[in-house]
């Protein structure tokens, strides 16, 4: 038995059995020893492997046939962002139902003061049309920009904090932005997920912004994030329903939510 113990080394990070002649675990990259042992001339002498049944291996808490665990970075990439997928799918579904003639667009977005139709604060986030009519180009370009922002930063944020955080920030930023637009704008016209997209973008960017301000290293691309934020804000100049107050309010809500989240331990 003492001879068989030299046939492998157990990685302390992922629990996988690895060769004693490597310094890093091939499954998770964890360092298992400082330097590899010397290999005797003629190669190491192979010792007969001890015979153990699967039942005895399981009782010892480890089985030879167990699949090694993925490292945390790989586990994050294989996690399906269900909340983000649901938000994006709902936007496309609303788009298809609208152009199929199932409802009128002014029944779902904010045109003038809400005046009791509070449900429009939510539904307005999922319908993208031009204020002057159902222009395919204007509405389609606006929807592409907002769906891209929600999809990208919703996915990144969901892998960091989970689906419930993404849903909470998306809904609060979207509904809150529409509410601010209804209160501030004397004749509000608002529709689309510009506030929702900027809210998710801002909440995700807060840790990198704090690291950049403290002159620390960070992994995100703040330049590309700033470009996407600028595009969402610029949509207010090209599309009537892309209300600037809703966009700014959604971004501020995302920043406010991102500050406490930056101190929370991430999932991966």
C-alpha–C-alpha distance, residues 111 and 124, integer Å: 10
Beta carbons of 232 and 194 less than 8 angstroms apart: yes
The whole-number average pLDDT for the span 243-248 is 95
In three-state form (DSSP H/G/I as H, E/B as E, the rest C), the secondary structure along the chain is CCCHHHHCEECCCCCCEECCCCCECCCCCCECCCCCCCCCCCCCCCCCCCCCCHHHHHHCCCCCCCCCCCCHHHHHHCCCCHHHHHHHHHHHHHHHHHHCCCCCHHHCCEECCCCCCCCHHHHHHHCCCECCECCHHHHHHHHHHHHHHHHHHHHHHHHHHCHHHHHHHHHHHHHHHHHHHHHHCCCCEECCCHHHHHHHHHHHHHHHHHHHHCCCCCCCCHHHHHHHHHHHHHHHHHCCCCCHHHHHHHHHHHHHHHHHHCCCCCCC
The 10s digit of each residue's pLDDT in 22-49 is 777 777 767 777 666 665 555 555 555 5
pLDDT of residue 174: 96
Taking the mean position of all CA atoms in its chain, how far away is CA 66?
30
- At residue 8 the predicted structure's pLDDT band, cuts being 50, 70 and 90, is confident
The 10s digit of each residue's pLDDT in 138-170 is 667 888 899 999 999 999 999 999 999 999 999
The 10s digit of each residue's pLDDT in 108-119 is 889 888 888 899
Report the percentage of the chain scoring pLDDT > 90: 43
Whether residue 136 has pLDDT greater than 60? no
* Structural domains in the chain plus CATH codes: 12-69 (no CATH), 79-261 (1.20.1540.10)
Whether residue 99 has pLDDT greater than 90? no
C-alpha–C-alpha distance, residues 61 and 63, integer Å: 7
The whole-number average pLDDT for the span 236-260 is 94
pTM for the model stands at 0.69
Beta bridge partners of 110: 190
């Amino acid at each position: 038995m003492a001879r068989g113990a030299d046939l492998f080394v157990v990685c302390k990070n992922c629990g996988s059995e690895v060769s004693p002649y490597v310094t890093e675990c091939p499954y998770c990259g964890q360092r298992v020893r400082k330097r590899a042992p010397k290999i005797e001339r003629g190669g190491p002498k192979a010792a007969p492997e001890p015979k153990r049944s699967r039942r005895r291996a399981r009782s010892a808490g480890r089985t030879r046939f167990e699949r090694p665990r993925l490292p945390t970075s790989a586990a994050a990439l294989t996690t399906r962002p269900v909340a983000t997928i649901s938000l994006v799918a709902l936007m496309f579904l609303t788009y298809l139902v609208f152009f199929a003639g199932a409802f009128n667009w002014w029944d779902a977005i904010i045109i003038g003061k809400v005046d009791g139709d509070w449900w429009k604060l939510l539904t307005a986030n999922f319908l993208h049309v031009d204020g002057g009519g159902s222009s395919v180009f204007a509405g389609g370009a606006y929807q592409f920009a907002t769906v891209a922002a929600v999809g990208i930063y919703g996915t990144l944020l969901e892998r960091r904090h989970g689906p419930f955080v993404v849903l909470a920030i998306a809904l609060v930023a979207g509904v809150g932005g529409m509410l601010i637009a209804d209160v501030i704008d004397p004749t509000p016209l608002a529709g689309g997920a510009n506030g929702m997209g900027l809210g998710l973008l801002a909440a995700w960017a807060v840790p990198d912004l704090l690291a950049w301000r403290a002159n620390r290293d960070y992994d995100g691309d703040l330049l590309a994030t700033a470009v996407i934020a600028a595009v969402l804000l610029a949509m207010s100049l090209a599309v009537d329903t892309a209300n600037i107050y809703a966009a700014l309010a959604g971004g501020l809500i995302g920043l406010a939510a991102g500050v406490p989240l930056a101190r929370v331990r991430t999932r991966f």
